[in-house]
Amino acid sequence: MSGIEAFDAVDLIRAKRDGHELDTPEIGWLVDAYTRGYVADEQMSAMTMAIFLNGMSRREIRDLTMAMIASGERMDFGGLGKPTSDKHSTGGVGDKITLPLMPLVASFGVAVPQLSGRGLGHTGGTLDKLESIPGWRADLTNEEMFAQLREVGGVICAAGSGLAPADKKLYALRDITGTVEAIPLIASSIMSKKIAEGTGALVLDVKFGSGAFLQDIDRSRELARTMVELGEDAGVATSALITNMNVPLGLTIGNANEVRESVEVLAGGGPADVRELTIALAREMLELAGVRDADVEAALDDGRAMDSWRAFVVAQGGDPDAAMPVAKETHTVVAERDGVLVEQQALPFGIAAWRLGAGRARKEDPVHHAAGIDLHAKPGDVVRKGEPLFTLLADEPARFARALDAVEGAYRIGEPGEPVLDGGPLIADRITR
């Protein structure tokens, strides 16, 4: 039967277009045929739109995820001699949690194989942030990754091309066809890579709000439930926290400035929201890995997590004591009157940081590591006329005008007692099987 295909892509597209379920062999063939180039981008574009409009059953999503895993290699950390636990965030503005979280969890003897990505658009990328550290490198071989997990306990690096190659191809297609937000496609994309990565436990930080991938909290819950089920079905202990991204996380948005803030958290300080979320996610990761009642706050405060951070940076070629990049130009916006900062929308501030050079519009664009925004006040803070609200950071002053346009109307000073528009508590829900 050489050269004869098991199915016809057009038949499968019509079936999904008309609201029918695809069976397991059909989904397996579709992913394989697309990965090897037999199914064309135009055909898969039609399929992703049919999925976006009609959804998929739980069984279909599981089949899609497993087919994407089967398109590449699977890693196995069974030989490490210690449990593994990982975290994935759906992304947001000022979300630097991976940086303090990985060394904190690793300081308890749990290996953290954190395969991370780069930013695109208003959401920052963990690797871009870490590359602000002189000498630090993101690309490791599998052998280097395993050795570092044994010796240091944690690694943050780029995912190799061998993990779920079908997802890499499909993600790029979704990005240009208006189907990024389809929950079956988001869930299978994230979980195919995480399951193929081989971690024993996984905690998902699923954002909602202004600066999140999915702004509606009910959609975020649906995504979290879908991913938790996928993980558990694959034998990975999985849970999710539903967290608030209506306002930027912490006081920094960018790359180098977010690394500085992460180091402050590792030193026992830092903004309260960054510390709170780091501690909550660490407890989840450790619990799922079998480490119960761990005093994670003490590990931040007594230097253990900082020691783990320094060892990790050195292991990947970086200098933890080196000076970080500093912006050549700054522009500070001050309060025009006395009052309370009642609003600070995450998405416009993320777009502003992107326009300053902290992010990229295309995957091949360079990132300016010193660019970004330093926030001097958060919603609920009392401010006085003339006091700084935020500072724009850039290497080129010509970037300030468009960044200021982005945040026009995105922050507001109100009267004492006026409701603060922050979307409620930082951690809204916890999802388990």
The CA distance from 159 to 163, in Å, is: 7
- The amino acid that residue 31 corresponds to is V
Q: What are phi and psi of 67, to 5 degrees?
A: -65, -35
Sign, CA dihedral 52-57-58-63, equals negative
Q: Which of 33, 36, 45, 42 has its CA nearest to residue 8?
A: 33
Residues in Cβ contact with 352 at an 8 Å cutoff, skipping those fewer than 6 apart? 373, 392, 403, 404, 406, 407
Listing DSSP states for 190-201 in one string gives HHHHHHHHT-SE
With H, G, I as helix, E, B as strand and everything else as coil, classify residue 408: coil
398: which DSSP letter? G
Catalytic residues, which ones? 88, 167, 174, 189, 193
The CA distance from 430 to 284, in Å, is: 10
The CA distance from 377 to 386, in Å, is: 13
Residue positions counted in the chain: 433
